[in-house]
Structure 1
Amino acid sequence: MNFKMKKILSLLIIFMVGYVQIGCQSLNKKSEGSVSVKSSPNAQIHFINTGNSDSILITQDNKAALIDGGDNDDEDLVVNYIKKQGVKELEYVFATHPHADHIGGLDKVAEEIKINNLYVSNGDAQTKTYRDFIQAASDKGLSPSVPLMNSEFKLSTSTFKVLSVAASDDPNNNSLVLLYTNGDDRVLLMGDAEAEIESKIKESNIDLLKVGHHGSHSSSSKKFIERVNPKYAVILTGKNNKYGHPHKETMQLLKDKNIEVHRSDECSDIVFTSTKDGISTDCKVGSYKPGNK
């Protein structure tokens, strides 16, 4: 073989090797790009310690929902807590009813955190707190609406279902009642709904119950607690609050039914993790001690 033919052959080999390498790189990039990232089944349920008021943040797969926003003096606490979790926008905000201890901080939430959907209860209130909340929502282009009974809202792979949208003269009983489901895990969020509404809730065998009305004796009726039969009960209440929450009747019933209690006045922020196949928390088990009148 002469020198000219050898040179041509060498160039041809170099070209073929380069072509194969480029092809392999392209194939690898395609393979890397086609790898699907599975979403995490875990959800975190944050019961924010706002004292004798309610604020609950639920997160899953970078999606978040907020149920209530504490009292007027809790607005910075609630906003800072949400931001600390890395939440930049809220897929849903549910204002269970217009009492200040549930919506007081929502005006600041609306001002500082993007809200995609805002739901409220039937009825309103002629209070500055309620007007501030509605005005802040309006300034952000939000149109609060009352969800339909039995409507469902997806949060990544989990779901909220609306179990009560009552329209009575009692704002507590107008509370939006929500069932949060993540796989086999079921969490019932009662707002301040009392015995009248509890009698209409037909769910049973709940994993976690957010006790209605801060543990008041006007909620948590015996028939209701026996029917929902929760493993865990969370009570959002403040230390030495003027209402005496939680009341002795509620605490005695939870004790008699051997339901594990977790209280914000004893544990501060309470965070549960839902895995779709079980719920757990690092919060210490609470006492059955009633509040001081």
Structure 2
Amino acid sequence: MLLCVLFFRLLTVPPSAEQQLAACFGRQLVVYGAVEPLSVRRQDGFSSAVLRCHKVYSDTELAYSGRLRVSVKGELPQAGCVVLKGTLEQLDSLRNPGGFDAASYNRVQELGGRLSKAKLLKTEPQVLWWQHFALLNKKLSERMEAAAGAEYGALLSGMVLGGSGRLDEETRELFTDNGLAHLLSVSGTHIVLLTGLLLALLQWVPLPWRKVIVITLLTAYALLCGLRPPVLRALAMSSVLLLGGSGAERGRLLCLVAALLLCLQPLWLADIGFQLSFGAAAGLLWLLPACQRLLPQALPAPIGEAAAVSLAAQLAVLPLEVYYFQQFSLIALVSNIVLVPVLEIAAQLALVGALLPVCGEYLLQLAAWLTAQVLTQARFFADLPYSTVVIGKLPAYCLVLYYAALFVWADFPWLQFWSNRERRCILLLHALLLAGMLAYQQYRTLPLACYFLDVGQGDCAVIVTPSQRVAIIDTGGLKNISTATRVITPFLRYLGKREADILLLSHYDFDHVGAAADLLRQLRVKKLLLPNEALTEESKRVQQEIFAQAGRTQAHVVQGGERYALDDNAEIVLVDVPQQDVPGNEASTLAALQSVQGSVLFTGDMGEEREQRLQLQQYTVLKAGHHGSHYSSSMEFLEQVRPRLTVISCGRGNRYGHPHQETLERLQAIGSAVVRTDELGCIKVVFDAEGIKCYGYADLQ
């Protein structure tokens, strides 16, 4: 019956929140709703938050009860309800293969848009029941950060209370590389240990009442953490463990809980956290016996049990990690055995310390010290050679092959009609198929391609040659996020790459080099080509940050006419490099990709004054200068270059109005086709024997 209800719910999923408001974008709305306390941020005289909408008015009342991001000049209340008036805009998202899928996240979270330039019309200070839990969550988080420090406090509060929005990017990467990303929010392991702690503290209570009290406290804790899907799953499973039952009964209950949650909110099925959480729980229920048989019996009991538990969870979610993140951690088993116990002790100390009215600071400081030791060891593990293996994007049928082989290996009862010989043959066949697919993905020959990544209002291009050499031109730069962490590195993992042969920086403007230092920290770069630019105080600071992360990378200030071979048929040519006394946009390095199949000209932010001094050949593709500004791409310049295709890299709804209409008209006049990252997301241009082909982000999915 539950499966029938679930199937019906999946068929009747309503349009996304964004689709419901599509007709209202660009219009004035009046919104009445409740502030989510954990989302409130204040910066530079502005407040931003997520609003749970109760009523939305345009000309008439709209049938909408989703969420909106709001930004107000001044202060928003921490809780209660407000009435706001502002202009509805689409949510910004960077659309790149391998990167964070903001569209799916917004749909799952029921976020329909952003209310910009909003005015606070009315405040209702009465706090709603669920806001009391959120306010307590925020108060405890702030206490943790005050006592344990910003870095360790943010990590501990994320583990104990949920939400890791304040974590720095380096810590996120560290946990991902060690296979510990599941600990960055409230995990099932944490709730199981919390259950044990509560049982120990309540030993004086009779057992039946003790179980009731513990389940009640765990329910309150789940409310404090925000009733997220992993928390609900862990709460249900802990309750089952308390109430007893066989392994088969627990497995059936896990399926029952998953079906009930999906009946409540079908879109959780697309949530990565939901999939990983239930996948790990399923591994512990159904793969643990096989993992225990696999490990040597000579291992000490605590180590053997911890290794079997970690292995069962890792095997269950391995294909999901590869599918979403294009890599897996070889040190995850060791990290989970060595680091998780210490982290969980720190988490328990942090929770108790945050709740104690007196002397809690001492426990929080001890938790911070333990966390610091864990991070030190995690860095050591992550720096080991081949600690992570980058796979690249695999087709979905590889997941089917993997899970089919896993079911056979685990000797599930419903597959025991095969003999041992038949099972070994099936496992060997699946292993050969998977190995063949991995080898094909790694060594297949592809045509020359140039990707223009969507980095908002900035520039970043990645060149991949048939011999799998990689060159990156500029890195983009955004104030709130690192495009290296969120865009470039995940994109390279999508391609199966974890190093680049060349990183060329056109000039030191932040929207071109803002993520260069982060990228050099995360990625091995063989050669770094720096602009020949007169340095200001700001560009000196940027250059110093880049040098600090460059390490053993060969760094070189470019000169005009230099050539850098990528393979036999493709090279990067520095067409024009200005003198060193030129600062800013006019110092942009003019570079070109030259190949037998075609050519691409990269102009940075070069303006028309410099364009008029150049004598250039024709190029197949032009990366338009200065994001399509009318101060670049002059008619004299375009008459020389005569591109068949022009790519404009700019952000959606950018405040500069790029690309300018004058530029688009000039490109139309010379017969050049125009594609834009603000419209298509990541753009892929392929050069092969048939000519050039162009694809947008939607085509690459």
Choose from 434, 450, 456 the match for 1:45. 450
Deviation of residue 212 (structure 1)? 0.5
Structure 2 residue aligned with 1:75: 484
Q: Distance in 2 between matches of 1:85 and 1:221?
A: 36
Q: Distance in 2 between matches of 1:86 and 1:173?
A: 36
Structure 2 residue aligned with 1:173: 586
Instruction: Rate the CA distance shift 1:130–1:240 in 2: closer, same or farther, 3 A.
Output: farther
Aligned residue for 2:496, secondary structure, equals coil
Contact 1:68-1:93 within 8 A present in 2 as well: yes
Deviation of residue 59 (structure 1)? 0.6
Contact 1:182-1:275 within 8 A present in 2 as well: no
Aligned residue for 1:223, secondary structure, equals helix
Aligned residue for 2:578, secondary structure, equals coil
Deviation of residue 266 (structure 1)? 0.3
Matches for 1:55-66 after TM superposition, within 5 Å? 55-60=460-465, 61-66=467-472
Structure 2 residue aligned with 1:108: 518
Contact 1:100-1:130 within 8 A present in 2 as well: no
Structure 1 residue aligned with 2:558: 147
Deviation of residue 279 (structure 1)? 1.6
Aligned residue for 2:586, secondary structure, equals helix
Number of equivalent positions: 245
Deviation of residue 83 (structure 1)? 2.1
Amino acid across the alignment from 1:56? A
Amino acid across the alignment from 1:117? K
Q: Deviations over 1:28-56 (max 9, x none)?
A: xxxxxxxxxx9957211010000110110
Q: Deviations over 1:213-242 (max 9, x none)?
A: 100111101100111111000000001111
Q: Deviations over 1:257-289 (max 9, x none)?
A: 2210000000000001112662211239xxxxx
Choose from 72, 84, 88 the match for 2:494. 84
Q: Distance in 2 between matches of 1:207 and 1:58?
A: 15
Aligned residue for 2:462, secondary structure, equals strand
Aligned residue for 1:90, secondary structure, equals strand
TM-score relative to the length of structure 1: 0.78
Q: Distance in 2 between matches of 1:282 and 1:142?
A: 33
Aligned residue for 1:179, secondary structure, equals strand
Amino acid across the alignment from 2:452? F
Contact 1:217-1:250 within 8 A present in 2 as well: yes
Aligned residue for 2:696, secondary structure, equals coil
Choose from 211, 216, 229 the match for 2:642. 229
Matches for 1:1-293 after TM superposition, within 5 Å? 40=445, 42-60=447-465, 61-72=467-478, 73=481, 74-76=483-485, 77-123=487-533, 124-127=535-538, 128-137=541-550, 140-157=551-568, 158-167=570-579, 168-275=581-688, 278-283=691-696
Contact 1:45-1:273 within 8 A present in 2 as well: yes
Q: Distance in 1 between matches of 2:475 and 2:515?
A: 5
Deviation of residue 102 (structure 1)? 0.5
Instruction: Rate the CA distance shift 1:277–1:150 in 2: closer, same or farther, 3 A.
Output: farther
Deviation of residue 200 (structure 1)? 3.4
Contact 2:532-2:558 within 8 A present in 1 as well: no
Contact 1:94-1:119 within 8 A present in 2 as well: yes
Q: Distance in 2 between matches of 1:197 and 1:266?
A: 29
Contact 2:627-2:650 within 8 A present in 1 as well: yes
Q: Distance in 2 between matches of 1:223 and 1:156?
A: 33
Deviation of residue 57 (structure 1)? 0.4
Contact 1:41-1:276 within 8 A present in 2 as well: no
Aligned residue for 1:111, secondary structure, equals helix
Aligned residue for 2:470, secondary structure, equals strand
TM-score relative to the length of structure 2: 0.34
Q: Distance in 2 between matches of 1:116 and 1:79?
A: 15
Deviation of residue 144 (structure 1)? 2.5
Deviation of residue 143 (structure 1)? 4.7
Same amino acid, percent of matched pairs: 25
Aligned residue for 2:537, secondary structure, equals coil
Aligned residue for 2:593, secondary structure, equals strand
Contact 1:163-1:201 within 8 A present in 2 as well: no
Q: Distance in 2 between matches of 1:159 and 1:211?
A: 20
Give the unaligned 5+ runs of structure 2.
1-442
Q: Deviations over 1:139-169 (max 9, x none)?
A: x223522222111110112011101111343
Aligned residue for 1:144, secondary structure, equals strand
**Runs of 4+ deviating beyond 3 Å:** 38-41, 128-131
The CA RMSD measured in Å over matched residues stands at 2.0
Contact 2:571-2:594 within 8 A present in 1 as well: yes
Give the unaligned 5+ runs of structure 1.
1-37, 285-293
Amino acid across the alignment from 1:152? R
Contact 2:526-2:554 within 8 A present in 1 as well: no
Q: Distance in 2 between matches of 1:276 and 1:132?
A: 42
Aligned residue for 1:102, secondary structure, equals helix
Q: Deviations over 1:1-41 (max 9, x none)?
A: xxxxxxxxxxxxxxxxxxxxxxxxxxxxxxxxxxxxx9957
Aligned residue for 1:101, secondary structure, equals helix
Aligned residue for 1:160, secondary structure, equals strand
Amino acid across the alignment from 1:148? Q
Contact 2:532-2:559 within 8 A present in 1 as well: no
